[in-house]
């Protein structure tokens, strides 16, 4: 039996981001500074050469915007304006003032990008933080999960993420109906909760009080602490999130490499369930 | 205004365009008598500025009204938190409170609908059946799409939004 403990990967792209972010103001203002110096010392220099600093800064800004899970259409479209202003030949040539204003705009857009659209790459590549710790914890504490069961958990998680609740419920029911899977454990409860969710989405849902819930003993294996609210709907929502996150963690920790990679591509959904994004 | 069973709504923008061009036509025909002979086709053209948006709105509204029962039958009720990019193309039903309303004046309203699990943008490409305001509790039927067609976070392309009592 394979027990997979997730290792923290180094993220060279994140490091590249740290280098690229300062490059936006440096290149754009640098180009403007070169044009200004050339004018001060009467050096004959075509303004389009220093303007390439602004074009390059726009491309970098667009790249940084594309990396984020929420796309900033304004930042992504800056290279188009850079090409129109500085590359496409026109009757009025770009001046130093335009370079300075453009550099200032790019810097403001970079700040806006970081503040409003978050920093770092999309969740697909990120594997650290509470969810990573949870997967590691499940890998250590649930040491007796066969890889077939983990693959089932992964399949159920993937079907659920696709909104195919009926198929997810079917897979969970198939697992629960097998005799060898009888017993009272957290994963079986998670499967039972997911199996019950499909009916919950129908036009005549079952009363929430009749649905499955994790027991007190199982709560140590859950991501979210059990809801202390008396609101049964809230309690059920937390239980469903926990059930799905348990399936995700079990699949990542115990499934075969191929299945694990498939489930890993649904990391952003797991982050959403974990309320991390 | 109602055409058959479809309530048709003209946007404020279309009315504003009509008013601006009416004033321009009046002023021009007062100060330039040569224009008056062209009024025979200019006036119908002016009214087309109102008729075309009305016809377009009727067509889109009637198409949405035809789609609504299909979505009613197929859509699964989901919490906002469960809507994710893997569900693109799936019909969904969400219930929540309207936190914000944008672009209502363009007849292309966009709502921010929130339930206890989170909030999501609901885009509608025609006018809604009934006026929806901030703090209304609504049921939304629609399809999950990406904000910018091929990229962006998942949002709901709304087919029907109606107030519910909760």
Strand partners, B141: B93, B160
Task: Enter the tokens of residue B113.
Answer: 């609908």
State mean pLDDT over A36-65. Answer: 89
> In this complex, is the C-beta atom of B31 within 8 Å of any C-beta atom belonging to chain A?
no
Of the partner residues A201, A241, A275, the one whose CB lies closest to the CB of residue B77 = A201
Is the Cβ pair B87, A266 closer than 8 Å? no
The interaxial angle of helices A147-161 and A186-200, nearest 10 deg, is: 30
DSSP of A50-94: HHHHHHHHHHHHHHHHHHSSS--HHHHTHHHHHIIIIIS--SSPP
Strand partners, B76: B92
What is the per-residue pLDDT across A97-112, written as a single tens digit (0 to 9) for each?
A: 888 999 999 999 999 8
Instruction: Determine whether domain B76-163 maps to CATH 2.40.50.140.
Output: yes
CA distance A81 to A98: 12
What is the per-residue pLDDT across A121-161, written as a single tens digit (0 to 9) for each?
A: 544 445 568 888 999 899 888 877 888 889 999 999 999 99
For A276, residues 6+ apart whose C-beta sits below 8 A from its C-beta are A123, A129, A130, A131
Task: Enter the tokens of residue A4.
Answer: 């997979």
Strand partners, B3: B6
CA distance A227 to A143: 27
Pairs of CB atoms within 8 A across A/B: 45
Of B135, B106, B109, the closest CA to residue B122 belongs to B109
> In this complex, is the C-beta atom of B69 within 8 Å of any C-beta atom belonging to chain A?
no
**Long-range contacts (CB closer than 8 Å, 24 or more residues apart) made by B104-109:** B105/B11, B105/B12, B105/B13, B106/B11, B106/B13, B107/B9, B107/B10, B107/B11, B107/B13, B107/B53, B107/B57
Q: For chain B, which residues make up each domain, given as ranges?
A: 2-73, 76-163
Average pLDDT in chain B: 92
State mean pLDDT over A116-122. Answer: 63
pLDDT band of residue A213 (cuts 50, 70, 90) is confident
Task: Enter the tokens of residue A226.
Answer: 């059990």
Cβ contacts of B117 on chain A, cutoff 8 Å: 237
pLDDT at B41 over 80: yes
> In this complex, is the C-beta atom of A152 within 8 Å of any C-beta atom belonging to chain B?
no
Of B153, B165, B145, B160, the closest CA to residue B94 belongs to B160
Of the partner residues A161, A237, A275, the one whose CB lies closest to the CB of residue B84 = A161
Tell me which of A11-25, A53-67, A114-128, A204-218 is least confident: A114-128
Phi, psi (degrees; rounded to nearest 5) at B116: -65, -20
DSSP letter assigned to residue B73: H
pTM: 0.69
The interaxial angle of helices A147-161 and A232-254, nearest 10 deg, is: 130
C-alpha separations of A145 from A181, B13, B82 in Å: 11, 62, 27
> In this complex, is the C-beta atom of B87 within 8 Å of any C-beta atom belonging to chain A?
yes
pLDDT band of residue A277 (cuts 50, 70, 90) is low
Of A148, A147, A153, A122, the closest CA to residue A221 belongs to A153
C-alpha separations of A124 from A75, A120, A256, A267, B90 in Å: 22, 11, 19, 6, 22
Is the Cβ pair B85, A273 closer than 8 Å? no
């Amino acid at each position: 039996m394979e027990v997979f403990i997730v290792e923290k990967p180094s993220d060279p792209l994140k490091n590249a981001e740290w280098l690229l972010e300062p490059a936006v103001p440096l290149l754009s203002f640098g180009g403007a500074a070169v044009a200004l110096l050339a004018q001060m010392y009467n050096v004959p220099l075509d303004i389009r050469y220093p303007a390439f600093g602004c074009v390059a800064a726009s491309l970098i800004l667009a790249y940084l915007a594309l990396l984020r899970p929420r796309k900033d259409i304004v930042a992504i479209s800056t290279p188009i304006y850079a090409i129109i202003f500085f590359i496409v030949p026109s009757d009025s040539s770009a001046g130093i003032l335009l370079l300075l204003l453009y550099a200032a705009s790019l810097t403001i857009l970079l700040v806006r990008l970081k503040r409003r659209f978050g920093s770092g790459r999309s969740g697909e590549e990120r594997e650290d933080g509470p969810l990573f710790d949870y997967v590691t914890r499940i890998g250590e504490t649930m040491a007796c999960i066969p890889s077939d069961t983990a693959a089932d958990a992964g399949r159920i998680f993937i079907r659920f993420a696709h909104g195919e609740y009926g198929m997810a419920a079917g897979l969970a029911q198939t697992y629960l109906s097998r005799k060898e899977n009888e017993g009272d454990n957290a994963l079986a409860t998670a499967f039972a909760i997911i199996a019950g969710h499909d009916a919950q989405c129908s036009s005549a849902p079952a009363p929430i009080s009749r649905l499955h819930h994790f027991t007190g003993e199982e709560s140590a294996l859950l991501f979210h602490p059990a809801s202390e609210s008396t609101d049964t709907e809230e309690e059920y929502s937390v239980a469903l999130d926990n059930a799905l996150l348990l399936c995700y963690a079990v699949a990542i920790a115990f499934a075969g490499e191929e299945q694990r990679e498939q489930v890993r591509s649904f990391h952003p959904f797991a982050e959403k369930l974990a309320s991390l994004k | 205004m109602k055409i058959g069973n479809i309530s048709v709504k003209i946007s404020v923008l279309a009315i504003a365009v009509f008013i601006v061009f009416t004033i321009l036509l009046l002023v021009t025909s007062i100060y330039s008598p040569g224009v008056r002979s062209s009024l025979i086709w200019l006036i119908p053209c002016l009214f087309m500025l109102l008729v075309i948006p009305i016809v377009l709105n009727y067509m889109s509204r009637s198409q949405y009204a035809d789609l609504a029962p299909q979505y009613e039958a197929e859509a699964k009720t989901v919490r906002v938190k469960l809507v994710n990019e893997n569900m693109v193309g799936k019909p969904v039903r969400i219930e929540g409170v309207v936190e914000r309303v944008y672009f209502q004046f363009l007849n292309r309203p966009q709502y921010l609908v929130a339930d206890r699990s989170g909030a999501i943008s609901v885009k509608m490409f025609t006018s809604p059946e009934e006026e929806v305001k901030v703090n209304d509790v609504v049921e939304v039927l629609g399809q999950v799409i990406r904000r910018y067609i091929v990229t962006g976070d998942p949002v709901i392309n709304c087919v029907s939004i109606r107030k519910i009592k909760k």
